[in-house]
Amino acid sequence: MRFSVLASGSTGNAIYVGTDRASVLIDVGITGKQAEAALQEIGVKPADLTAILVTHEHVDHIKGIGVMARRYNLPIYANEKTWAELEGQIGTLREEQKRLFEIGEKKELEDLGIESFGISHDAAEPMGFCFYHDKKKLSVATDLGYVSSRIVETIRGADAYIFEANHDVEMLRMSQYPWSVKRRILSDVGHLSNEAAGEALSDFLQGQAERVFLAHLSKENNMMELARLTVKNILEEKGLKVGDDVHLRETYPDRPTKLEEL
């Protein structure tokens, strides 16, 4: 199983996961042109894609899904409540391109196993995904207001995680955002802070050299160096040595991570 975070942050999010037979995108919150360029940068031909999965309907996750689906004749998988919100936002699709993937379902796309799970965010019915192939597991969980015990049980045991570290609480409090926006971000249907990410990760990481990609960082209220340091300090306070037990990785708003293999 191979994967890359094509873009991550408040300006747009997209992830690639592939095997020898399956090639999927999780969200396309960037333009179709940007998605094509990112895929080509990691050596993936856009024409080889087989499906798009949608976590939720916010624009930083769906901006380019209609374009990519039409251009490459791709099915889009989303749950029923998300589809109700997508209608009218992503342009015209053929009916056979609209596929249902409900929370808690497990599907096989060629040789790639996929499991969906519910998350807490202010969208219609947001969800994350776990991917399985050849006894390897990848867990993707961003846009989390908080991490429930159910989420922990679903995503734990992965070889790699793409996990939200959205904001530094003090940077957010001091920002120019209206209080209503700050309150939303800090709420149980908002986003995980660096501290909350570190605490959550310490609950399920097993110290078996897992790779953790810190994702969905706020452009205004975070810095990758700060997110990494905060998470590192919390993990090491909990007895996990970063660099040996856990490998922290960066993601970028404007370029893909290198293609990783599990």
98-100 vs 106-109, strand pairing mode: unpaired
The model's pLDDT over 221-260, given as tens digits with 9 standing for 90+, comes to 999 999 999 999 999 999 999 999 999 999 999 999 999 9
Helix, coil or strand: residue 131:
strand
Find the CATH number of the domain harbouring 64: 3.60.15.10
Mean pLDDT of the chain: 97
Band of residue 197 on the pLDDT scale cut at 50, 70, 90: very high
Contact 130, 88 (CB under 8 A): no
CA angle (6, 58, 110) in 5-degree steps: 50
Question: d(Cα 186, Cα 246) in Å, to the nearest integer?
Answer: 27
For position 69, what pLDDT does the model report?
A: 98
Q: What share of the chain in percent tops pLDDT 70?
A: 100
Predicted confidence (pLDDT) at residue 87 exceeds the cutoff of 90 = no
CA angle (186, 190, 195) in 5-degree steps: 55
Buried/exposed code over 68-105 (b: 16+ C-beta within 10 A; e: otherwise): bbbebebbbbbbebbbebbeeebeebeeebeeebbbee
**Domains in the chain, number:** 1
Parent domain of 181? 2-261
The model's pLDDT over 8-52, given as tens digits with 9 standing for 90+, comes to 999 999 999 999 999 999 999 999 999 999 999 999 999 999 999
Helix, coil or strand: residue 145:
coil
The model's pLDDT over 138-194, given as tens digits with 9 standing for 90+, comes to 999 999 999 999 999 999 999 999 999 999 999 999 999 999 999 999 999 999 999
